[in-house]
A and B are shown apart, each in its own frame.
Chain A
Amino acid sequence: DGGITQSPKYLFRKEGQNVTLSCEQNLNHDAMYWYRQDPGQGLRLIYYSQIVNDFQKGDIAEGYSVSREKKESFPLTVTSAQKNPTAFYLCASSNSGGARGYTFGSGTRLTVV
């Protein structure tokens, strides 16, 4: 079955460490997105990519980095520069005209310890 796989489901990070969240899709979608969700809040866009080897910053890109070397993969690195990284991270993908429906992964819950 086609879908988006995020791993790991839970991640614990020590202060000052970089961590990378994985996102893989087999839907043959062109566009991929990373959102952050804080408890009781909406989704805020971190980065998005509409084609391989190209990506743009979203509203809250500071302290994060991404790469898009393959169509299927869009990993997110949370760097030590992100001062408040504890959150639920959601990856999504869509075809062009994504307004008609994003497909989301099951998310990664990141906690700083």
Chain B
Amino acid sequence: GQSLEQPSEVTAVEGAIVQINCTYQTSGFYGLSWYQQHDGGAPTFLSYNGLDGLEETGRFSSFLSRSDSYGYLLLQELQMKDSASYFCAVADNAGNMLTFGGGTRLMVKP
């Protein structure tokens, strides 16, 4: 089976940088994804890491270390609109089915 651990809540101020960690235990691993979900809304895809290292997409970056079964999402220049829940997800060996972590609720304060 798959299990993922991430902090339940993180608070930061506008303009700051925040890192959301994710550790996983899996029977098969294809890659690590990150999704953002605003209250009452649908999750939206943010980033994907299939190989070790850093992937950068604008203000968001994601990192993966397969040997440590660890990844993180880095959000820079935080804005109020970044207040949302962030989920890490692991894909199975075939690269299709995702198992999600419990989510990290990010609160950005002025």
Residue numbers of A with Cβ under 8 A of B are 31, 33, 35, 40-45, 48, 50, 58, 90, 94, 96-107
Contacts and interface: CB of A to CB of B under 8 A. Distances in A.
Given A41-B102, A41-B103, A42-B101, A99 B41 contact: no
B12 interface: no
> Which 5 pairs between the two chains have the least Cβ-Cβ distance?
A99-B91, A104-B42, A101-B45, A42-B102, A43-B100
B30 interface: yes
Contacts of B41: 106-107
Given A33-B97, A94-B96, A43 B42 contact: no
A105 B42 CA distance: 6
A99 B103 contact: no
A88 to B, nearest CB: 8
A99 B96 contact: yes
Given A105-B42, A106-B42, A42 B103 contact: yes
Given A42-B87, A43-B43, A90-B42, A102 B98 contact: yes
B44 A104 contact: yes
B42 A99 contact: no
Interface string B86-110: 0100010001111111110100000
A40 B8 CA distance: 9
A24 to B, nearest CB: 15
A9 to B, nearest CB: 10
